[in-house]
Amino acid sequence: MVSNRIIYPFVADFRYIVPSVDHEIRFMDFHENTLRLSKPMLSWTHYVDTLRKTSEENPMSRLDSQPTILAVAQYAGVSPATVSRVVNDTAPVNEATRLRVLEAMEALGYKPAISSSGKIALLIPDILNPFFPELVRGVEDEAGINDFNLVLYNTDEDTSREKQILNRLSTQRPDGVIVCASRLPYENIIELHERYNIPLVVINRVINHPGIPCIVVDLEDAAYRATQHLLSLNHRKIAYLAGWGRTETSRTRRRGIEKALAEVGLSLPDAWCPTSFPSVEGGFQAMSALLGLPTAERPTAVIAFNDIMALGGIHAIRTHHLIVPDDISVVGFDGIPMAAHANPPLTTVEQPKYRMGKLAMQILRHMIQEQFVLSSGYTLMESSLIIRESTALALSASA
């Protein structure tokens, strides 16, 4: 993990220009948990005149950089998506509005470099996992506010399919791409981004690259806190249903579990980390493997890679005529809505799914509008351990 950690809602090195209600320009910086708002600087017309004058006097100045779609939109009093439609002729625009946009482009000296599709591509690994609809809704709500159309791609937890989709998007040229919980190696994501130069935001992975903003939850800390909860209930035999055990997201959770166990002189044997597809059926199979161990070698508590694996694990426990949490306590990950209605209600680490999706789209929009200053930091979101009835005190202190 990189050291530059920014806690939501602040974004590393995020600078943009916001016209106020009274048409004055204020410069706002979100950087390292601080918000700095300057005094009103100048009127919008004055800003445009300054931009043009500075451009003529010093071609290498920062103000000389190509005016953005956002600048044209502000000047014309329309949305950036409307400017995109006029520039690329992708949809009908009222004639008066079209002329106003064209006049703004001429006044600012705006020259469109590339065409805009008005589309945002969102890749998720499993459309059947209830974790993702809430995240998709956050992306879609924010995209709709700004007149972007969302195109959803399901990768089926298949890295080859994910890579194929990203390669195909390079020819379709969406305005931007959001990749959630990618299973691809870091170098593949970086290579695809650098080769095709499409604005890209990654959710639930940290890619240490200045051109790829990332939004993550500290999953290691979350798993550490979940393990501490079980330890506080006198559990000493704690297992992990690891999903795809080789992925970074799975390894990160395991590191948190092992850290908490090591603090009390315990370890996590490989035999207690069964791997499987991260689904309900996968959870059932992984838990069944643990229950196939001799009784004395079975864990008294398990932490699952995600909630749906935890639900499958609870089903497996019942088929072995055992009771949750009396015989085995179960903790999930994600905080999906049905977790609260499981039998028993599931203790889980809740991730801010909707806000992660909404923030990803906000960042991507600013990248598309060239108003995002890239860095190698990442946005760190909070998580909560929701304690419900699937965890309870171990039957004996020696458990």
Among 18-27, 207-216, 268-277, 389-398, top mean pLDDT goes to 268-277
Measure the CA–CA gap between 249 and 220, rounded to whole angstroms: 9
The per-residue pLDDT for 134 is 96
Q: Band of the pLDDT at 299, cuts 50, 70, 90?
A: very high
150: pLDDT strictly greater than 60: yes
Among 22-26, 361-365, 393-397, top mean pLDDT goes to 361-365
Domains assigned to the chain: 5-108 (no CATH), 119-218+353-383 (3.40.50.2300), 219-351 (3.40.50.2300)
Q: How many helices (H) and strands (E) does the chain have?
A: 12, 15
**Stretch 205-212: mean pLDDT, rounded?**
88
> Do 107 and 76 form a contact (C-beta atoms < 8 A)?
no
The per-residue pLDDT for 66 is 62
The per-residue pLDDT for 187 is 86
Q: How far is CA 74 from the centre of its chain?
A: 29
The fraction of the chain above a pLDDT of 70, given in percent, is 79
Q: Band of the pLDDT at 111, cuts 50, 70, 90?
A: confident
> Do 309 and 279 form a contact (C-beta atoms < 8 A)?
yes
Report the mean per-residue pLDDT for the chain. Answer: 82
Cα atoms found within 13 Å of the Cα of residue 143, Cβ hemisphere only: 25
DSSP-assigned letter for residue 24: B
338 vs 88: which has the higher pLDDT:
338
The per-residue pLDDT for 89 is 67
How far apart, in Å, are the Cα atoms of 142 and each of 58, 138, 354, 364? 38, 6, 10, 10
Dihedrals phi, psi of 260, to nearest 5 degrees: -65, -40
Q: Band of the pLDDT at 17, cuts 50, 70, 90?
A: very low
| First-residue to last-residue Cα distance in the chain | 34
Beta-bridge mates of residue 36: 29
168: pLDDT strictly greater than 80: yes
130: pLDDT strictly greater than 60: yes
What is the token pair recorded at 152? 């959803």
pLDDT digits (tens, 9 = 90+) for 49-97: 444 444 444 433 333 456 778 888 899 999 887 887 787 666 788 999 9
Question: In sequence order, which residues have a C-beta less than 8 Å from that of residue 270 and are 6 or more positions away?
Answer: none
118: pLDDT strictly greater than 80: yes
Measure the CA–CA gap between 399 and 357, rounded to whole angstroms: 41
How far apart, in Å, are the Cα atoms of 115 and each of 30, 118, 383? 30, 9, 39
128 vs 397: which has the higher pLDDT:
128
Judged by DSSP in three states, 15 sits in: strand
> Do 324 and 317 form a contact (C-beta atoms < 8 A)?
yes
The per-residue pLDDT for 70 is 81
pLDDT digits (tens, 9 = 90+) for 302-335: 999 999 999 999 999 999 999 999 999 999 999 9
Judged by DSSP in three states, 300 sits in: coil
pTM for the model stands at 0.72
For the CA atoms of 130, 132, 134, 138, the dihedral, rounded to the nearest 10 degrees, stands at: -170
Return the closest-CA partner of residue 220 out of 210, 206, 234: 206
**Stretch 210-234: mean pLDDT, rounded?**
96
> Do 383 and 215 form a contact (C-beta atoms < 8 A)?
no
291: pLDDT strictly greater than 50: yes
> Do 222 and 385 form a contact (C-beta atoms < 8 A)?
yes
26 vs 335: which has the higher pLDDT:
335
Dihedrals phi, psi of 120, to nearest 5 degrees: -120, 130
Q: Band of the pLDDT at 114, cuts 50, 70, 90?
A: low
**Stretch 332-347: mean pLDDT, rounded?**
97
Burial of residue 315 (number of CB atoms within 10 Å: 0-12, 13-18, 19+): middle
> Do 148 and 121 form a contact (C-beta atoms < 8 A)?
no
Question: In sequence order, which residues have a C-beta less than 8 Å from that of residue 367 and are 6 or more positions away?
Answer: 176, 199, 201, 213, 374
265: pLDDT strictly greater than 90: yes
